[in-house]
Structures are given as structure tokens and as C-alpha cells.
Structure 1
Amino acid sequence: MLRILQVGLGPLGIRVVEDLYDRRLGRVVAAVDQDPQLIGRSLSKIVEVPDGPTVHGHLSGIEDLSDVRCAIVTTNSDLELCMDTFRCLLAEGVAVVSTCEELSWPWLRHPILAQELHEMCIRYGGRIVGTGVNPGFLMDALPVAVSMVCRKVRSVEIERIQDASSRRIPFQKKIGAGLDDIEFERRVANKTLRHVGLGESLFFVAHYLGLEVERWEETIAPVHADTELECGLGKISKGAARGVRQTATGWVDGEERLKLLFHAAIDEPNPCDRITIDGDPPLRVEIPGGVHGDVATSAACMNVIRPLLSAEPGLHTMASIALQGCTPPDDFAPPLHKMGPPPAS
């Protein structure tokens, strides 16, 4: 059974730990979180898991990382803020799976840090990948995979429209639910209100489709409540923001060829995930109701571990490691490098 280090015990980190045990994919041998209320407590007192390790406030509190096969880091969206954690883990040759959105395509905003991560992996034998539902799958890896059946692709439109009513409170805060326009715009300007990763998804798709983006732009606007609403954060007044509408557009050869829409709001009536490819053949793939982000992000973390461990050392993307599926329990899963045709009956 895989021995896992969990870094970050917020709502997502706790879900990851629960799923790890529920799916019998591994066990947590070390855990880290900076919350003073969690430091020093047994993980089994925070999450219903057997024999949980003591939670440390920093990786330096863990005496030996050599026993850890993979670290799952669910702490921050900003790559710069995650770098100390990544450096510490990669220097020990630990494989790292992270939900850091900027790590999904770090060459867009942090090319120097991306190079550093790759060089550390090569030097120490580590591996690292940024994953999740979005970025990490729905708006980048999945569209690229869908395009495999096309002879050519002229343009791609990707839409993720979510009803945020059932999402965790930190997500509802992130999309600005309940804010008036002045506060919404202030947080946009401070970059504390945005979906992180939309630009990364755009450049991921462009790279794997061989499209050279000449310029790109991103827009963020509130989605207003027509009536008074309730959500996990409390009451949303009529006219206040119930969510966010964010777009990323890329131009290739002077034409708009890539368009990504992220729309998440409380009480959104028609959620869905949709990919439209103008190509040969033209394709339209839609998931009615959309994919629940919290469930899917945890699942992505679990399902990427084994392909990452089988990959060569280095900084990876979701398209540079082996095709992922829903990983079976550890006691039923053969090593990836031994997979082959099924035995003859």
C-alpha cells in the first residue's frame, strides 16, 4: 500500500485523506498543516481514519521522508507560495501531486520556477505534476484527448458552467458570492477573486494542439442575483454578486481560435461542462449537470499517483504521463509497467 504524505488539511485535503482510505489506495504516514488548532493532533482525531500520524506544522518536523512514496499538496493556488514545499520534497526524491493551479502549466507565469522544478527532479529523481478537475482535466487534458479523433482543428471553445450552491464555502468565497460590485472589483484588482488556472488551461490546449498563441486576454465580471438568495456564506441580496463569469481568449494567426469560459454562481440553473471543436470532424462533447469540482479534484489526485510514479523524473503535465483512469484499490492494481494484454481464458 502506498505511503502518502498529506500537505494541507483544509476541506480539500481532508476529502483527499478520506478518499485515500475509502478507496484503499494508500495510507497517510505523515501530515502537515499550518493551522495551530491542528498541529500536534493525531490525524485520526481530525479525519475518521485508523492510526493517523501526528500533524506537523512544517515539513522540517518530519524526521525522515525516505519512507514517503508520494506527497499530495493541497495548499495554495500560487506557485511561488508553494515553492518552498516543493523544493523540500523534491530534494528528497519524493513524487509530488499538487492541486496548485499554476503548476498545471507553470511556463505561462513562472518559466524560471518551472525550470528549477524540472532540474531538481532530474537531479534528485523526483517527479511533480499539477492536477485537479480544472485546471488539470475538464478544460485542458480532456479537450486535448477529445481532439485525438480530428484530422485538423480550427478552433476550440470550452465552457464550464457550475451551480456553486453545493460547493464548499472557500469556493463560494473565491467566486465572490454575496459581494457588491465595489468590493467585487476591489478583490479582482487585488487578484484575490478569480478562478486561477484559466490561462494555464488555454496554453496547455494550445501547446498540445500545436497552436502558437500570438496574444491572449482574460476578463472577469460578476454574475448578479435577480432575487435574494441563500448560500453557505449566508444571505445574498438582490443585485449582489452570486458568482463570477471569467473568460480567456487566445488569438492565433490573427484569429480568435481558443475561448474558455468559467462561469460559477449560486443557484445557476443549467450547469454543464461543454467542449466544442471546429475541426474535421467537428465535435461537441457535453456533460449535463457538470462535474462536481470537490469530488473530482480529490479523485484526480488519487488517480494520477500511479501514472506519476511510473513516469520518468521531471516536471510533468497531465498529458506527459500515462493515460489515467479510475485507479482500482491498491490490492487489485498491478504495477503500470507490468500491464499488458489480459491473460487468455
Structure 2
Amino acid sequence: MPRRPPRAVAVFGTGRAGQHAIRMLLDDEMLDLRAVGTTDPAKDGVDAGVLAGVGETGHTAVHGLKPRDVGGEVDVILHCGAASRDELADFFGDAAGSGIDVVSVSGGFHPRTAFGDATCAELAASAVASGARLTGTGVNPGFLLDVLPWIVSSLVRAPASVHARRTTDMKHWGSTMRAKIGFGDGPATHAVNDLLSLDESLALLAESVGVEIAEMTIDVEDVVAGSAREVHGRRIERGEHCGFIQRATATATGGRRLTLEWVAVLGLAEEDGVGDGTDVTVTDAAGRIVTAHVAGTHDRDAYPATVARAAHVATLIAGLPPGLYGANLQPAA
């Protein structure tokens, strides 16, 4: 079978995810890097390879670059920049109007939850008209706390409950994201469940397993350090606030229950007592249980896997009809 020609790709965003994407694409046989956009004016005109730590590539970052600016030059955009839901909807709309596919790691995993029914209808219609495909993906959200529990639940004919929990180390996060939720140099500017809400993952899982949500709650509690540590120049003493547990729960009218937990700790240590990796447990009405565990380590960085998943989808999404897609409708192979 002949190999498909590589798709021309642009990377939007030059933070940690964007830098990983640039490095990966320089050696990718299926995606050909053509353009790089940045939201940081200090990076305007800087070679993308220099920003990514790999030397000159000939591709310079352009501040304020929009999808319409690369219309006709690229087939797909990897959206790697931090964005609010309104900003991402505008970005999707611009790309759809220009006939360019978008795979975002910043949201849009469950479009109806992210954008609302009216905006979704507009985006889908624009994408179909122009031949574009729009979606969001990643490791978390986009896989470990939504797609993976859905796949595991398929091993049980009628799941009565699904529980998934992921524990991560914030030391690998970008400084901007850590600062916004209060783990940088100053006070928090955003609540955890506003900036990193599990509502899209919960809605995607419920839709995938056929649960009609009657009630949804999202709570956040603090994690205190079980041992002293210093991370990125910040000293944390034993007993001090060092992370959070975000818990999202959905209950159906018939009593079926879905629970997702995201644990994030700065300088994760065994003494914190919150575990490691990702665990999924699915139980049926008779009490039969199916479990899955994805091992993690305290030093694991999820950014390369996030970008790799986005690139995988960006390569294969060309085989789908134009439209707006959730993470549960993306090609897997």
C-alpha cells in the first residue's frame, strides 16, 4: 500500500507543549512543519528550533499568527497554546473558515460541554462547508480520564459504576500554568476547577457509556506535603499545601455513578500518600469488577505523550468526513 504524502502542519503555541511539538515534527515522516505561531511578542521572529532548543530550522515564530494567515499553506494545525474556551472556539471558527484541520491539546475534548450547543452547531456547519475537521485530544484530558475508562467499561456489559483516578507531578508543568493556580511565585489567579475542569472528561465518558447525567458535582480539596521538598526554587515544608485533588462525579437517574479524580502534586513524593499512575475500576450490578492500571513514575513528563497523541490524530483525521469531533470519535489507528 503506498504511503500517504506528509501533511503540511503549523504549530500554534511555543510553550512546553509547542516546543515538544516542534522537536518531534523535525523528524516526523507523516507531518511536515511549515509554520509556527506564538502568543509571546518576545518570541516573534525567533527561529522555532532555537525556541525548542534544537538550533536553527528556518522556521521563525510569528506573533499573533492566525489560521487564516496560513490558509492554503497547511493542512492541519497543532494547537498547543493555553486558551480559554471562548478563545479556542474563535480559533476553531477561524480555522474552519479557512478549511484547515485543527487538533488542540488545550480543550475541545467534548465540544458541547466546552462550547455549548449553539456554537457547536456553527462550528460543525462551517467545518463541513469548508472541508475542515476540528477536535481536541491529549493525555489528560483526552485519554486517561475519559477515553481509557470508556474502553475499560466496554469489558462490562452494563457498568453500574466507573471510577478513574490519575496522579501527576506538577513539577513537569509549564510555569505559566502552575502560576495561574497558585504554584508559582505569587497567589493564584484562577481556581483549579475553572482552568483545569474535569467537566469535559466526565461528559465525554457519560456519553460514551450511555449514562444520562441527572446530577454532576465537581469538588477540589488540598493535598498537604508528607515531606519537605524544594521544586523550581520553591520551598515546601511538611504539612504545607502542595497540590490538589479534583473530584468530578456524575449520577444517573437509575443510580449509575461515574467518578473521576485528578490528583496533582508539586514534587510528588511517596510520603504524600496519594499514589501514582492511573487506575480505572468498573463494576457491574452483580459486583463483578474490571480494573486497569497505567503505571507512572514520580519523574514522568506527560508533555511528549500529549503531543505525540495530537500528532497521531492530526495524521489520521484526514480520513474522517469534515466536522467537529469529540475525543471519543477520533481515529485510533
Smaller-chain TM-score range? 0.7 to 0.9
**Distance apart, 1:303 and its partner CA:** 1.2
* 1:52 equivalent in alignment to 2:61: no
**Distance apart, 1:62 and its partner CA:** 7.2
Q: What does the per-residue CA deviation read over 1:235-282, in whole Å, with 9 as the maximum and x for residues that have no partner?
A: 124443211111001111263601111111122323110110003752
Letter aligned with residue 30 of structure 2: L
> For the structure 1 residues 94 and 135, does the alpha-carbon distance in structure 2 shift closer, same or farther, using more than 3 Å as the test?
same
* 1:138 equivalent in alignment to 2:144: yes
* SS class of match (1:300): helix
- 2:42 corresponding residue in structure 1: 37
**Distance apart, 1:110 and its partner CA:** 2.4
- 1:244 corresponding residue in structure 2: 244
- TM-score w.r.t. the length of structure 1 is 0.83
> For the structure 1 residues 217 and 62, does the alpha-carbon distance in structure 2 shift closer, same or farther, using more than 3 Å as the test?
closer
Letter aligned with residue 268 of structure 1: A
- 1:20 corresponding residue in structure 2: 25
**Distance apart, 1:114 and its partner CA:** 1.9
> For the structure 1 residues 80 and 194, does the alpha-carbon distance in structure 2 shift closer, same or farther, using more than 3 Å as the test?
closer
> Which of 282, 288, 292 is 2:289 aligned to?
282
> Which of 5, 11, 22 is 1:6 aligned to?
11
Distance in 1 (alpha carbons) for counterparts of 2:66 and 2:327? 29
- 2:159 corresponding residue in structure 1: 153
**Distance apart, 1:60 and its partner CA:** 5.1
Distance in 1 (alpha carbons) for counterparts of 2:192 and 2:277? 25
Q: Which stretches in structure 1 are left out of the alignment for 5+ residues?
A: 325-345
- Conserved in 2, the CA contact under 8 Å of 1:175 and 1:243? no
Count matched residues. 317
* 1:255 equivalent in alignment to 2:264: no
- 1:267 corresponding residue in structure 2: 268
Q: Which stretches in structure 2 are left out of the alignment for 5+ residues?
A: 1-5
- 1:211 corresponding residue in structure 2: 211
- 1:65 corresponding residue in structure 2: 71
* SS class of match (2:36): strand
Distance in 1 (alpha carbons) for counterparts of 2:199 and 2:208? 14
- Conserved in 1, the CA contact under 8 Å of 2:213 and 2:250? yes
Distance in 2 (alpha carbons) for counterparts of 1:283 and 1:122? 39
Distance in 2 (alpha carbons) for counterparts of 1:293 and 1:123? 35
- Conserved in 2, the CA contact under 8 Å of 1:176 and 1:244? no
- TM-score w.r.t. the length of structure 2 is 0.86
Distance in 1 (alpha carbons) for counterparts of 2:254 and 2:232? 44
> Which of 299, 304, 328 is 2:308 aligned to?
299
Q: CA RMSD in A?
A: 2.5
Please list, as runs of the form range in 1=range in 2, the aligned pairs for 1:81-160 lying within 5 A after superposition.
81-101=87-107, 103-111=108-116, 112-160=118-166
**Distance apart, 1:19 and its partner CA:** 1.4
**Distance apart, 1:221 and its partner CA:** 1.7
Letter aligned with residue 306 of structure 1: T
Distance in 1 (alpha carbons) for counterparts of 2:183 and 2:139? 21
> For the structure 1 residues 49 and 204, does the alpha-carbon distance in structure 2 shift closer, same or farther, using more than 3 Å as the test?
farther
- Conserved in 2, the CA contact under 8 Å of 1:174 and 1:194? no
Distance in 1 (alpha carbons) for counterparts of 2:110 and 2:67? 30
